[in-house]
Amino acid sequence: MDRLACVDVRALPLQLLLRRHPDWAAHPMAVVAEDKPHGLILWVNEKAHRAGVLPGLRYAAGLSLASDLRAGVVPLAEIDGGVATLTERLTRFTPEVEPSSEEPGVFWLGASGLDLLYPSLEEWARSIRSDLEAAGFRATVVVGFTRFGSYAVARACQGTLVFDDFSREQMAARRVPLDRLSLDPDFRDTLSKLGVKNIGALLSLPAGGVHERFGPEVSRLYRMASGGLSLPLQPRQIPEPLRQTLALEDPEADLTRLCFLIKRLLHPLLEALVIRGEALAELNLRLLLDGVGWREEQIRPAAPTLDVVQLLDLVRLRLETGECSSGIAEIELTAQGSPATREQLRFFAEQPRRDLDAAKRALARLRAEFGDGVVVRARLTDGHLPEAGFAWEPLAEVVSPKPKEAALRVLVRRILAKPLPWEPRSGAGFCGPYIVSGGWWMREIHREYSFAETRAGECVWVYYDRDRRQWFLHGRVE
């Protein structure tokens, strides 16, 4: 049978609360839904459990059982962040990690095929527990054969435990008290009154009667404990790193232009993070200095953010402290995310990527410095030659683009203002010709256009002029 492990970071919200109040460690503790006397108790520590304080009680009732009970609220976002942190740490020991969707702090791990990395499963389990303790989390690791068996035993013991035999795991699971599992308090109390206090006693009841008497929740627990419902491991997919790179044709040493290029790479990174429901927690910046080598920088905002202005300001400050005089030949950005708040995601979705007012101010500065003729836009015209198919006209106002959906995407062709002589070389692949002729009313022209792929992998747009008997380069295709 495949080996399976359960890692139980016991009462994860409680451990997160203890980080905020380390002086509470010597007292009974509980996490409540709200900080009120009638707030529902959700998680308790071992001292509170021994005093009879169980999940499902009210805070006031818990105080009547343990007068020194300490309680607090742990936000859902903080719990999700803790689960994400633990999932990332556990993937260092196995690629198959499934966090529980119902109980934060419970994880199932694939434990097969690790023989070449660890001398034994005992050593593997101890390594996991030691790593989590180093990160400040107390955990129990049980290696067994089934999802429910390893989970049930992990809820009732501490430390590490490895089962070498399937029957031993099942026997240990049957001895686990029901109050160690996450059961509805009403069901738990009803079963206790009937003398059903552990898994073995529950399995002694008839299956049909359990469903009819106690409902679907206890029936599901019964089926899982008996092996009638055994779900396969469903590991969380490890997300691909979010990375953007840009290779520059000429090394760039100007700080302002570098920040502008980095801004172009930041936008798609932040959009990818939003799709994941995350904000940027760390930005890894790698710069290839011309003739020197790579320079690496780590940018960490005060809190995870989707604000590109704040990130660019931090990038600029970091670049100002380093040496870039030799020029940057390549830029690489890698983003590390963490769960974002709803407000961050909503603000990012509502915030336009393009600031039209800023564009207008920039164009006004260009006109003031170089004249009105430098700010123009292309307008389609009626001309049979490619260079006569458009004309430049002054740009009076900047408007938001309104692209149309196209069934067929055409190649982007960068046309030269004036065709240049071109000499075809051996090994170049041609696609064409596409003949353009006419002009008999003025001067007859006959061109045979082709797409050519050079040995360097570049795609160029060329034509052969029959009248001149010469090849010309008219543009490049990207």
- Domain end marker among 137, 154, 172: 172
Structural domain contains residue 87: yes
9 and 156 part of one domain:
yes
Contact (CB, 8 A) for 93 and 109: yes
Which residues form the domain of 72? Answer: 4-172
Q: Tell me what pLDDT residue 364 has.
A: 86
- Among the ranges given (138-142, 261-265, 322-326), the one the predictor scored with the smallest mean pLDDT: 322-326
pTM of the shown model:
0.53
Q: What is the mean pLDDT of the chain?
A: 85
Residue 416 has pLDDT above 80, yes or no: yes
Residue 224 has pLDDT above 90, yes or no: no
Helix axes 76-90, 12-20, angle to 10 degrees: 110
Q: Tell me what pLDDT residue 441 has.
A: 62
Residue with tokens 């002729």: 437
Structural domain contains residue 219: no
Residue 352 has pLDDT above 70, yes or no: no
What gap in Å lies between CA 138 and CA 131, rounded to an integer?
10
Q: Tell me what pLDDT residue 285 has.
A: 92
56 and 120 part of one domain:
yes
265 and 153 part of one domain:
no
Structural domain contains residue 114: yes
Please give the helix or strand (H or E) that residue 208 lies within, else none.
helix 207-214
What is the domain count for the chain? 4
Alpha helices in 38-93 (DSSP H): 46-50, 59-65, 76-90
What gap in Å lies between CA 31 and CA 1, rounded to an integer?
38
Q: Tell me what pLDDT residue 353 has.
A: 62
371 and 460 part of one domain:
no
Contact (CB, 8 A) for 127 and 118: yes
First to last CA, the chain: 54
Q: What percent of the chain has pLDDT over 70?
A: 95
Mean pLDDT of all residues in 141-162: 91
Between 51 and 239, where is the model more confident?
51
Q: pLDDT tens digit string along 166-181?
A: 999 999 988 888 878 8
Residue 228 has pLDDT above 80, yes or no: no
157 and 16 part of one domain:
yes
Q: pLDDT tens digit string along 70-99?
A: 999 999 888 888 898 899 899 989 989 999
Residue 101 has pLDDT above 90, yes or no: no
Structural domain contains residue 301: yes
